[in-house]
A and B are shown apart, each in its own frame.
Chain A
């Protein structure tokens, strides 16, 4: 039913907007590029939308417009059928009344309050028992036990991030807005918290919009991706869709990875993992995280092609498939294969000629296990 036009009793055509975030905002800062954020995403079932793009592309500005911290010059924001901002009707709902949780890049913990006081900050209007119950629950969910009485500066970066997340989600917001939630952390902590963040978001079942310039973060967290460049939305769709069918070369370049497909780890032995992807099985180095749900990322230049369906080499993966399409880009040819799942490869134009590559031909894609990059999904 969702999204389907309906005729109500007054005879007007109405579109069901429940479970949707509809954004169309324009903002211009003096001396910088104009930003036009226009997209629609699903919020039903706690879906996570990632605003992805290089730094300076306007992601944070769009997020701040969603929070009500920035007033767009023109445009509108509708969340689950409710208007938050509409320049034509001079409507603007303050951040206090949007029922959001907002996490800025540096967490903005209140320095004069302890971790516990920070978490409780937004619960003043709740009855004591209810507030207490929620605080205990969130401290348990984010493993913050024992840190309650510490001041922000006595906490590590990862702990600060968890306190900030706790402070935002403990209010049960209708929409969570996260600005580069992991960028302030060192690499190992980031790795750990990335998986934890998705778990927490899923457990709270609160829809979220996450801003990031980190591809791994985007793939790990997103249900939907909005790709931005120079203040414009280039593409908007599910993670799989965006990566397997980039709208244009610019998007493909921003995404940087050519094949991103969901898979499932079915076996781990001798430090190698067998992953079931579409109709094919892949062998990759066993990941450090438990799995089993993963995204498999493969760069096109790591894929070698051989003619026919037989080949012997040291590579662990030999995938037989058909060529779906070929694109020549100067000296190289980009090849799209169907080998049980969509796979992109790059070969030189000469190789393409030698191998006699054409649409519909059967080839074997050869791929070393270390060339397969796995990103865990909670």
Chain B
């Protein structure tokens, strides 16, 4: 078994999940509460990776971060390195590609919080910001956790975007799913099977956790 690939995958999934938590929560809250007309555009943008083939997302990210793009040049000037075919590159790809898997469950959980509780908090003198932490987040956390678990699992099993953007560099961009593909290409079915079975078991476990969270209440009893 390719332990290096497993280690890299776990690191990638954990980092992706952490970043999605930080940007996904405010984005989801905005989507769940905003009454602006153009919020549907943002909604659609976030959901795009759900319907697009990973190769398409990967291709555009490759173009957008390459040395010929303004963003790619800016990044190169700032860090002295390029995003494509690096760990940072596949991290960026994972965050963007997994956005809907985190943001949509977050937004659903925030939208389900009883508005009267939020209003009660306002009338008790708490600002919108503090109310979010004391009420909205506290009652919506099972949904947030479900989104995080889903995003983590989805990153672990990601293939297309990583391959397009990162290639197959051991210790840098070679994740578990790439390793399986590589094994099959090299006709090492035994090795591919061992890793694939591990992923299968892991994914099943994660879905069990997600569904059990959805039936759980955010408060005791």
Using a CB–CB cutoff of 8 Å, the interface residues on chain A facing chain B are 67-69, 94-96, 100-102, 104, 106, 108, 110-112, 121-122, 124-125, 151, 153-154, 167-168, 171
Contact = CB atoms under 8 A, between A and B. Distances in A.
A69 B123 contact: yes
Nearest to B220: A151
B117 interface: yes
A69 B122 contact: yes
B37 interface: no
Given A108-B114, A112-B139, A102 B123 contact: yes
19 contacts: A67-B119, A67-B123, A69-B119, A96-B122, A96-B123, A96-B125, A101-B123, A102-B119, A104-B116, A104-B119, A106-B116, A108-B117, A110-B117, A111-B117, A112-B138, A121-B134, A151-B221, A154-B221, A168-B124
A328 B142 CA distance: 67
A122 B124 contact: yes
Contacts of A121: 121, 124, 126, 134
Contacts of B116: 104, 106, 108
A171 B120 contact: no
B110 to A, nearest CB: 15
B120 A108 contact: yes
B38 interface: no
Interface of B: 114, 116-117, 119-127, 134-135, 138-139, 218-221
A112 B218 contact: yes
Contacts of B121: 110, 121
B135 A110 contact: yes
A95 B220 contact: no
A154 B138 CA distance: 19
B120 to A, nearest CB: 4
A291 B117 CA distance: 37
B139 A95 contact: no
Given A67-B119, A121-B134, 11 more contacts: A69-B119, A95-B122, A102-B120, A108-B116, A108-B119, A110-B120, A110-B139, A111-B218, A112-B218, A112-B219, A153-B221
A124 B126 CA distance: 9
A151 B219 contact: yes
Contacts of A100: 123
